[in-house]
Amino acid sequence: MITPLGTGNEKSWNGLIEGRSAVRKITHFNPEGLPCQIAAEVPDFELDRFIEIKEQKKMDRFIHFGLAAATLAMENSGLKVTESNASRIGVIVGAGIGGLSAIEHYNRILLEKGPKRVSPFFIPMTIINLTSGQISIRFGAKGPNSAVATACATGTHSIGDAFKLIQHGVADAMICGGTEAVITPLGIAGFTSMKALSTRNDEPEKASRPFDRDRDGFVMGEGAGVLILEDMEHALNRGAKIYAELIGYGLNSDAYHITSPAPDGEGAARCMESSLKDAGIRPEEVDYINAHGTSTKYGDEIETTAIKKVFGPHAYKLCVSSTKSMIGHLLGASGGVEAAICALGVSLGIVPPTINLENPEAECDLDYVPHKARRLDINIAMSNSFGFGGTNACILFRKFSRV
């Protein structure tokens, strides 16, 4: 994980468990004049640690994050790509928007200095599939290589699609997840114009408040979350450290509106049900849900409604938390980060909290693990991601057992 709480799993996980908000006033540019002047920026990213200086200029910041997260994930996994296994190891790492900062920069260059001053690397810097491309080049992974671009569901779709490729025998291992870096003037202005962002500029640490009646929009975040998925036998044969077992994947569409979720939560509910069916488990077997939980008025209520539809009385026995309360909404990277959070939660037996939940919305009446992390023997965890265009994705993790 590379998140606004820090680079690497330890900093990110510890910050989440401590319930720390990473939201601050924007420093990437001068936000004066914008209604929203706050975001969750990655504070400690050392680009030179991950990418040679001469290569850095060929990539936008979202590729920097994705390549760095993949590097950390590969180091953590101990997986080695060799001549004999290269064609069985693939990459699916997507982004919701892609190289917005490079687009803004080179548009200014074009207008001010002319077309000859536009970098020949401009296109490879900005297109979404170049994160997967750069990762495959770095590690020599010659298996399936693609990129998902499904807005806020990108990371979860990437992991789910990789899961299915392994299940169908197309690959033995996949590097998968999501990355995003659109804390830019145009990015903030665009989402502000939609009235999607919080404008609680005077209290940034309290701005992201999922399920709270005083929420006024989401907070933009940035970073990347990348997982290494492997066929079980492949992982066991090489003695891999296994955090959790991925057991189910659901995906569908609301077919309702370009930005708003279906008001009855029908699409989200069907997606959760689909993941449960794919895993072959009953709703009451789920212990924890990492909610999409963006801190938007309709999104939080509708997701709560959908959870109640799927889980019935068991919904009130579940732990449901939104880690976006601490790191903001990482858009295309959120599903990757939240999948990693679920895997760590299952492995370590800890549920991260939902912070800033001071006055729960009347319709939001589940156990959202307010304020403090909780010890819990999590056998099965679900991660929800719902994106613009009505695209939905859910994945399920189970505690790994050799039995």
Catalytically active residues are 152, 292, 329
Cβ contact 96:152 at 8 Å = yes
- Tokens of residue 305, six digits: 């409604």
Alpha-carbon gap, residue 274 to 13, rounded angstroms: 29
Backbone phi, then psi, for 364, in 5-degree steps?
-105, 85
Pick from 402, 401, 399: nearest CA to 350? 399
Q: Is 24:221 a contact under the CB 8 Å cutoff?
A: no
Exposure of 74 in the CB half-sphere (CA atoms within 13 A): 22
Give which of 230, 207, 174, 169 is closest to 40, Cα–Cα: 207
| 339, 245 contact by CB (below 8 A) | no
Q: Tokens representing 274?
A: 């689909």
Phi and psi, residue 319, nearest 5° = -90, 125
Angle of helix 334-348 versus helix 9-17 axis, rounded to 10: 70
Estimate the crossing angle of helix 297-311 against helix 266-279, to 10 degrees. Answer: 40
Q: 96, 149 in Cβ contact below 8 A?
A: yes
Sort strands 145-146 and 89-94 into parallel, antiparallel or unpaired: parallel
How many other C-beta atoms can be found within 10 angstroms of the C-beta atom of residue 48? 8
> What does DSSP assign to residue 218?
B
